[in-house]
């Protein structure tokens, strides 16, 4: 079956209207199709695990060492502040997604609330971000697998995992959901076991020999060995590891009950961040000195080795590989659904908005994979030039996405309260003041990135990328009224003939 681009919502060109009112938002459309024409093949257990595992990326296992080195035990405050930011943004996104589930999620809401230029810009930036992530994760997976089987070159492993996960995404959304269910399940079990084992060791129970106590939190220069400013530096290092929390709002549109799925995911985001991020990092900085070289290199492996857990390195390699494959799988899904939504709204080629017999947007998937393949090639041939440019120019997209979500929620909330208040089944707390406070915190982080030497290049290049995409969007938006007028004129001529 094929799906053609649907007509744009009224008011999408800038008027804060266009919130769909037809149909029951609490249940999926008849025939097993979502409102966007995609196959509603994700089960509740798929969505539950996507929501839980979405906040656990490979960056937590690998990148957390850099944050600990930068901020010491104070990295806990960096994670707590960033986690609070994510909770607030997810609440706003959940409010809009529960009222109007859409495959384009925040891009579609920006289109309706702020204008077509906003939906176009943030949609393409988000697609760009996840397409680059495909290359990052494929390269990381190749490195781990080559360590196990050196006879196979790293590029071959990277190619293989890309092909396999592309195949699963092309078959059906159910195959994506099944793979992600097991990938996320392994990550969740690994983190929970790590926290339990670490907590036992902190209190002197097996597998630890003696109670670690709180000495590592206050010793070695104190809780903030580099001063309070290190908390912000730590935020810059950890903020991007939270990217992925929003995936469940895209995936919910392909489930039988999207509103319930969104509500459940939004309500659980607080304990997910508190447990998986803050809980596991607290175990690390409590058990080991923050300035231990092993912690900087691989914090989770360092903890397990300190407790004499056999094969700690191999165990963590398996967990990290699972996290990498999960991120690659989710990244391909997310990029393709954003491309599909852009195609539906006329902001990408119309072919992006078609689906195959399995009810998945095959053209959008292939387009995303193609860019991912090109970026992967650059990761081997031009690692320090072109690939580094791609990484830096997509690095701050998370902050841009969060800002757009905030501004969209400000306008859509007023529209929903006026036109369809019954759809406000999830509400942002203390609206609008907490939304304003969130915007202020994000703007502060953006400003600090310009000030911080390590974050400046990434922010500058990301802003340049955003300006280029915005300019393209504005140019296309100005051409569309002329094109519509020409089409209408041609139609009238044809009628007279």
Percent of the chain with pLDDT over 90: 34
pLDDT-wise least confident of 11-25, 329-343, 476-490 = 11-25
Round the average pLDDT of the chain to a whole number and report it. Answer: 83
What is residue 392's predicted lDDT score, i.e. its pLDDT? 84
What is residue 338's predicted lDDT score, i.e. its pLDDT? 92
> d(Cα 103, Cα 109) in Å, to the nearest integer?
11
192-245 tens-digit pLDDT: 999 999 988 888 877 766 666 788 888 888 899 998 888 888 888 888 778 878
250-275 tens-digit pLDDT: 888 787 788 888 888 888 888 888 88
Percent of the chain with pLDDT over 70: 87
What is residue 252's predicted lDDT score, i.e. its pLDDT? 80
What is residue 161's predicted lDDT score, i.e. its pLDDT? 92
Banded model confidence at residue 93, pLDDT cuts 50, 70, 90: very high
101, pLDDT greater than 90:
no
What is residue 122's predicted lDDT score, i.e. its pLDDT? 94
pLDDT-wise least confident of 207-211, 400-404, 416-420 = 207-211
What is residue 28's predicted lDDT score, i.e. its pLDDT? 43
Angstrom distances, CA of residue 118 to CA of 230, 242, 470 = 33, 22, 8
Higher pLDDT among residues 337 and 41, named by residue: 337
Higher pLDDT among residues 72 and 209, named by residue: 72
Provide the Cα torsion 457, 89, 341, 478; round to 10°. -60
Residues 172 and 359: beta-carbon distance below 8 Å: yes
30, pLDDT greater than 80:
no
């Amino acid at each position: 079956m094929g799906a053609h681009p649907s007509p744009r919502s009224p008011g999408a060109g800038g008027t804060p209207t266009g919130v769909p009112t037809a149909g029951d938002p609490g249940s999926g459309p008849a025939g097993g199709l979502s409102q966007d024409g995609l196959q509603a093949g994700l089960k509740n257990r798929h969505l539950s695990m996507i929501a839980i595992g979405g906040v656990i990326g490979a960056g937590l296992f690998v990148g957390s060492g850099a944050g600990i080195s930068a901020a010491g035990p104070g990295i806990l405050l960096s994670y707590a502040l960033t986690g609070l930011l994510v909770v607030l943004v997810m609440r706003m996104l959940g409010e809009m997604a529960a009222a109007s589930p859409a495959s384009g999620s925040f891009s579609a809401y920006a289109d309706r609330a702020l204008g077509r230029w906003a939906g176009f810009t943030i949609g393409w930036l988000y697609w760009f971000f996840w397409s680059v992530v495909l290359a990052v994760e494929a390269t990381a997976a190749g490195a781990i697998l080559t360590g196990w089987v050196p006879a196979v070159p790293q590029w071959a492993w990277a190619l293989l995992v890309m092909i396999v996960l592309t195949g699963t995404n092309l078959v059906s959304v159910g195959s994506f959901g099944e793979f992600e269910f097991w990938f996320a399940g392994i990550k969740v079990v690994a983190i929970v076991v790590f926290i339990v084992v670490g907590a036992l060791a902190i209190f002197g129970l097996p597998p630890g020999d003696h109670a670690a106590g709180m000495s590592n939190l206050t010793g070695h220069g104190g809780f903030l060995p580099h001063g309070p400013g290190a908390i912000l530096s730590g935020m810059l290092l950890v903020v991007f590891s939270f990217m992925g929390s929003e995936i469940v709002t895209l995936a919910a549109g392909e489930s039988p009950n999207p509103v319930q799925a969104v509500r459940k995911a939004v309500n659980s985001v607080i304990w997910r961040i508190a447990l998986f991020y803050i809980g596991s990092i607290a175990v690390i900085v409590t058990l080991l000195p923050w300035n231990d070289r092993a912690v900087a290199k691989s914090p989770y492996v360092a903890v397990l080795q300190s407790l004499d857990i056999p094969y700690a390195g191999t165990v963590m390699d398996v967990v990290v590989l699972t996290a990498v494959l999960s991120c690659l799988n989710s990244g391909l899904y997310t990029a393709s659904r954003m491309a599909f939504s852009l195609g539906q709204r006329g902001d990408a080629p119309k072919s992006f908005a078609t689906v195959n017999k399995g009810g998945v947007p095959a053209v959008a998937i292939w387009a995303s994979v193609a860019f991912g393949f090109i970026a992967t090639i650059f990761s081997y041939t031009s690692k320090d030039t072109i690939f580094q440019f791609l990484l830096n120019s997509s690095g701050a997209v998370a902050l841009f996405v969060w800002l757009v979500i905030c501004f969209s929620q400000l306008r859509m909330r007023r529209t929903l309260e006026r036109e369809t208040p019954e759809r406000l089944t999830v509400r942002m707390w203390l609206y609008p003041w907490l939304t304003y406070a969130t915007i202020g915190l994000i703007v502060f982080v953006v400003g600090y990135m310009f000030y911080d030497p390590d974050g400046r290049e990434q922010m500058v290049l990301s802003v340049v990328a955003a300006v280029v995409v915005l300019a393209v969007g504005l140019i296309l938006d100005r051409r569309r009224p002329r094109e519509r007028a020409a089409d209408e004129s041609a139609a009238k001529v044809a009628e007279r003939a």
